[in-house]
Amino acid sequence: MNPRLFSFVGGSDGAWDVTSISAIAGETLEIVEKVAVIAGLAEPKGGEASWILQGATSNERYVTLEEKRRLVSVQAGLGRKEATLGALIPIRKSQDWWELPQGERRAILAENSRHIEIGLDYLPPIARRLFHCRDLTEDQPFDFLTWFEFEPMYEQAFDELVARLRDTPEWKFVDREVDIRLRRN
């Protein structure tokens, strides 16, 4: 089993209750009651899963060594007992984004949009992990799955974080985004 592969299963079973599902850009996902996060490949069993999203953790991309050091020095880990709220935000970027050389994508993400700096403003209370989908199979509906966990007292800060990111030049390249809010059950 690939230890970097994870499945996010939307259905009637899982440790996370869904409190809302909103399409931010493009098509939404089917409304479900719960989300299960499973290490490895999840296969649908009967009618239990309405959707399964898969992604793999990977090396950090688009960050310099100094940026990586800053992020690692202040970010909290996932699975903290007090972090009972979460969000799963799958994102797909346009073909225009993927046709840009990596250096130009880095410039849009880091210098023009300040994605990394914005994220640092919300650490350590908001923990995050990015999963890459694009290279798993050609039929993945998203390029990235972003997973967040935080305490209820930081819910407004999380809303501010995603609003700031969505208001950057980078988000002009997002053609599908679904915001799934969760509460650990």
The Cα–Cα gap between 185 and 183 comes to: 6
Nearest of 78, 150, 67, 161 to residue 110 by alpha carbon = 67
Residue-level pLDDT at 19: 98
Mapping DSSP onto H, E and C, the string for 109-134 reads: HHHHCCHHHHHHCCCCCCEEEEEECC
Each residue's pLDDT, cut to its tens digit, for the chain (185 residues) gives 678 899 999 999 999 999 999 999 999 999 999 999 999 888 766 567 899 999 999 877 888 888 888 888 888 999 999 999 999 999 999 999 999 999 999 999 988 999 999 999 999 999 999 999 988 877 899 999 999 999 999 999 999 999 999 999 999 999 999 999 999 99
> Where do the domains of the chain lie?
20-30+61-184
Residue-level pLDDT at 3: 82
| CATH number, domain 20-30+61-184, options 3.30.70.3420, 3.40.50.1260, 3.30.70.270, 3.40.50.1110 | 3.30.70.3420
The Cα–Cα gap between 160 and 121 comes to: 11
Q: Which residue in the block uniquely carries the two structure tokens 């990977």? A: 58
pTM of structure: 0.93
